[in-house]
Amino acid sequence: MPFLSKSFVWASLSALVSGLPLFLFCTVAQSAWPTDQAINLIVAYAPGGGTDMVARQLVPYLEKSLGQGAHINVINKVGAGGEIGFAALALAAPDGYTIGFINTPPVITVPIERKTTWTLASFDLLANVVDDPGTFCVHNDSQIKTLADLASQAKTNPGAVTLGSTGVGSDDHLAMLLFEKIAGVKMTHIPFKGSSEVRSAMIGHHITVGAINVGEALQYQKGGSPLRCLGQMTASRIAMASDWPTFKEQGFDFEMSSLRGVAAPKGIAPSVRNRLVKALNEAINDPVFKQSAESGFSPVRFLSPSAYEVETKAADAMFRQLWKEIPWTEK
């Protein structure tokens, strides 16, 4: 039997006593959202990662914006490059009590790679929160100082340059494929379960270069990790890494980033969806939240549902074309 909140039960008893028609009862129950039933916010990645951290930073501001004593639990459903968490979100009841973060490109690329129980169309997009561009990093004592150095070393020693990423089909892996295509080189891909493992492999000299996100790299550098980053995969330099040249400035004209936004299962009631969208807008644009997120090196970029949809559809088209040109499954 599904969980019924006290508010829902009280509304149903009141409706029965007063003889309200069923459709009026449903309206009463819907208007009571959110009740004292907790809202679950699914994160498809491990505790302590970039998405988990920004989710937990956002929660108190979202609870405040929703009002009515709203309570939100962060639920980590980890595995299969985000597929387990995305599936749990897509298959949840569209009642407003389950929302979650979706991350590009995995939410787009996983269904391109293989059959899944969900696609991008399985979600109602509510708001984007973070846009974290990619970067390539090396150990401080590496002879590689620039992207040109990396291309030269990879060309001189085909396959000898190893690049660690957060998994097959991740933004990091796809950035490697694009770099190889433009530079006309071949590197060896080493997938890891997360950026912390990539960092450890770089520090231990187990890989030549690590592909991670700018925010993660800045966190690691602040923590004392001996890493040097070779640029940022952005159209223009972002403020928190203003001294890092873009890849385009160095002659490698491509961009890659990880959008981290909030979505609901498809079919959520318009009234509930509108309240979530309004509350997310207020929470993400709260100056204190922005300062908190960016002090933790999460580059905040709010996108409304319509703008978010435009970005994800464009990314979907780009990755589908890339799949035709360079299928990224491991051989």
More confident residue, 118 or 10: 118
Options 3.20.20.140, 3.30.460.80, 3.30.43.10, 3.40.190.150; CATH of 7-132+258-325:
3.40.190.150
Contact 219, 198 (CB under 8 A): no
pLDDT exceeds 50 at position 17 = no
Residue 305 contacts residue 312 (beta carbons within 8 Å)? no
Q: How far apart are CA 135 and CA 219, in angstroms?
A: 13
Structure-block tokens of residue 163: 């690049």
Give, to the nearest 10 degrees, the angle between helix 106-113 and helix 83-90. 100
Residues of the chain with CATH 3.40.190.10: 133-256
pLDDT digits (tens, 9 = 90+) for 283-311: 999 999 999 999 989 999 999 999 999 99
Residue 69 has pLDDT above 90, yes or no: no
At residue 15, the pLDDT reads 43
Q: Quote the CA–CA distance of 219 and 84 in Å, as a whole number.
A: 27
Task: Tell the CATH topology of 133-256.
Answer: D-Maltodextrin-Binding Protein; domain 2 (3.40.190)
Residues 179, 146: contact at Cβ < 8 Å? Answer: no
What is the per-residue pLDDT across 201-227, written as a single tens digit (0 to 9) for each? 999 999 999 999 999 899 899 999 999
Residue 107's nearest CA partner among 119, 115, 117 is: 119
C-alpha atoms less than 13 angstroms from C-alpha of 219 in its C-beta half-sphere = 20
pLDDT digits (tens, 9 = 90+) for 90-120: 999 999 999 999 999 999 999 999 999 999 9
pLDDT at 104: 93
Confidence of residue 31 (pLDDT cuts 50, 70, 90): low
The string of DSSP letters for 13-51 reads HHHHHHT--HHHHHHHHHHT-S-SSPEEEEESS-TTSHH
Task: Convert the pLDDT of each residue in 240-274 to its tens digit.
Answer: 999 999 999 999 999 999 999 999 999 999 999 99
> What CA–CA distance (Å, rounded) separates 41 from 122?
16
Q: Residues 21-48: what's their mean pLDDT?
A: 73
- Summary mean pLDDT of the chain: 89
Better pLDDT: 320 or 14: 320
